[in-house]
Structure 1
Amino acid sequence: MRSQAYRTLLLALLGFAVFTATSQWRAHTPQTESPVVEGRVVIAAPVLLVLFGGDRFLAANLETMRLAATGVDWGQADTGYLIRAQQEVAELNPCHEDNYYLANGLLTWGGADREGTEVLRLAMQCRFWDELPAFFYGFNQAFFNKDIAEAGRALELAAQRSTGNAAGFRKLAIMLQADTFADEELALKYLIQQRDAASDPKLHAMLDKRVIRLQGLVALRQAQRLFEASNGALTSLEQLVEFGLLPALPDDPLRLGYELREGQIILKKMKIAGMEDQS
């Protein structure tokens, strides 16, 4: 009986020793990268059309399901495959909702912004009732291509199609245009003009907050110039109040505020992880 207990204990100790040795070996073994399957076959749209009896909608549906299920392996997207597959789906059915969602998420933000934005452009033209392709397309034109005119056109299209976000889309287009002015006073005049011309009360209220915010920036920079003419470089915004150049620091209706960075007073912006360093 006692020998049986010793044998069980010995096996347990041996098992623990093997487990410990294996764990140490794995800890010191270099990890290889997870494989990503390359060279997936993408069937051309005309061939898919024949295979599915001329039903382009069925062909687009099934191809979208296939690329959604197989386009990402081991947490890594096969961008080349997705580009080819989503272009074929867009040729079959540019209105396909899942295809433009996937294109914006996996292509545009996965390093293939031109290809993803092209899928969105086709969807925007086809889905005349849908505000989202136009919004995504417009945002991408501004963020990736710096094409503010094209972004404004798309955002206006999104506003026309929208049932509840029209003011937000138009406000974004106006703010993108205002950011193109190098002089803050010219930008302020532009915003005041757009605010006063707005017939939508919601848009008027949105723009009024931006006008007040920019007026605060203009006042701060004017005070900075007066301060530095006599006292040298400004080191903190509070000095403008301490030296009597402003009765108080301006209130920002957006509650983001202002900051002094590298000698220049600027508007604080909401920081979004992964986007603030984009040029």
Structure 2
Amino acid sequence: MKMRLSLPLALLSFALFACVAAWRALQPVALMPLFSTDRVVIPAQLLVALNGGDRFLAANIETMRLAATGIDDRGIDTGYLIRAQREIARLNPCHEDNYYLANGLLTWGGAVDEGNDVLRAAVECRFWDEIPPFFYGINLAFFQRNNEEAARVLEIGAERSPQNAAAMRKLAVMLRAEQFADERLALNYLIQQRDSAADPKLRDMLDKRVVRLQGLIALREAQRRYEDEHGPLIALEQLVERRLIDSLPADPLRLGYELRDGRIELKKLKIAGLEEQP
């Protein structure tokens, strides 16, 4: 009797399951966002309490957690990283991994101000480390066009770096020189900085920039004379053909010069994907 009831009951259950599955397959699917917008970031004070009052241990653990969960094959959860890395910076602004992650994932991932906040805290805390000032100075110049502040920060990095002091100071000088609207004023500034440099490496680097800028000034002067007589300049070689200059100036940096939008400019090193940045 029991066997007779079991088979019909099993068949009825299977039929009911098949009907529910078929109905569910016809329903619209609600797509979930790749990342939840309410991911939990534990406040710094609570993290300290959870780690027995040790804020450095709390910063280490939280950095490892966000490094493992903030990015995966779907992309970067920028909002989560911003909130988490700010809490880590409150726990330990000196944390090395945190400022590296902030620079790579936040600043260069579009969250410029938020990433720079973490870097600025690292500059102040890690008084021996040249890397945070270098990262922060580059970001200020590249993303925010604040050359004066970038130069100041790079000079801080130069004071901390016996190996890279000359390169950082050279970059600071060049950023300040770019602020001059008149190329002759910029040249005078570069010559003054070169002649007053005590570091032979820095003096040599700046001398190359002086020679390069002198070449640009000579080309622009020849362009003015050419256009007074012949109209718009089409190619730099026309200056040589008309004997306004003996030859195109040699650039010590081997980048050269170019005619851009009717004006002779210094060629710049182009990095794929970055020259389109605003």
TM-score range, shorter chain: 0.7 to 0.9
Q: Say which SS state the counterpart of residue 258 (structure 2) adopts.
A: strand
Task: Measure how far apart 1:44 and its partner are.
Answer: 0.2
Task: Measure how far apart 1:278 and its partner are.
Answer: 2.2
Where in structure 2 are the equivalents of 1:236-275 lying within 5 Å? 236-275=235-274
Check the 8 A contact 2:194/2:206 in 1, yes or no.
yes
The corresponding residue for 1:127 is 126
The corresponding residue for 2:218 is 219
The corresponding residue for 1:94 is 93
Task: Measure how far apart 1:34 and its partner are.
Answer: 8.3
Check the 8 A contact 2:134/2:153 in 1, yes or no.
yes
- Per-residue CA distance 1:10-49 (angstroms, 9 max, x = gap): xxxxxxxxxxxxxxxxxxxxxx998234421100000000
Q: Does residue 207 of the first structure (1) align with residue 206 of the second (2)?
A: yes
The corresponding residue for 2:164 is 165
- Per-residue CA distance 1:93-141 (angstroms, 9 max, x = gap): 0000000000000000111110100100101101011000011111111
The corresponding residue for 1:177 is 176
The corresponding residue for 2:53 is 54
Q: Say which SS state the counterpart of residue 213 (structure 1) adopts.
A: helix
Check the 8 A contact 2:34/2:74 in 1, yes or no.
no
More deviation, 34-43/179-188:
34-43
Q: Say which SS state the counterpart of residue 251 (structure 2) adopts.
A: coil
Counterpart of 2:112, as a letter, is D
Q: 1:37 & 1:135 partners in 2: Cα distance?
A: 34
**Which structure has the bigger radius of gyration?**
2
Counterpart of 1:193, as a letter, is Q
Residue ranges of structure 2 left out of the alignment (5+ in a row): 1-30
Q: 2:69 & 2:132 partners in 1: Cα distance?
A: 24
Task: Measure how far apart 1:163 and its partner are.
Answer: 2.2
More deviation, 138-147/183-192:
138-147
Task: Measure how far apart 1:277 and its partner are.
Answer: 2.0
TM-score under structure 2 length normalisation: 0.87
Where in structure 2 are the equivalents of 1:24-63 lying within 5 Å? 35-63=34-62
Q: 1:33 to 1:188 in 2, by over 3 A?
A: farther
Q: 1:181 to 1:61 in 2, by over 3 A?
A: same
The corresponding residue for 1:235 is 234
- Per-residue CA distance 1:186-211 (angstroms, 9 max, x = gap): 11111111111111000000000000
- Per-residue CA distance 1:221-274 (angstroms, 9 max, x = gap): 000001111111111111111111101110000000001111111111100112
Q: Does residue 142 of the first structure (1) align with residue 141 of the second (2)?
A: yes
Task: Measure how far apart 1:73 and its partner are.
Answer: 2.9
Counterpart of 1:67, as a letter, is L
Q: 2:225 & 2:33 partners in 1: Cα distance?
A: 60
Q: CA RMSD of the aligned region, Å?
A: 1.3
TM-score under structure 1 length normalisation: 0.86
Tell me the percent identity: 67
Counterpart of 1:45, as a letter, is A
More deviation, 71-80/95-104:
71-80
Q: 1:33 to 1:184 in 2, by over 3 A?
A: farther
Check the 8 A contact 1:103/1:116 in 2, yes or no.
yes
Check the 8 A contact 2:148/2:175 in 1, yes or no.
no
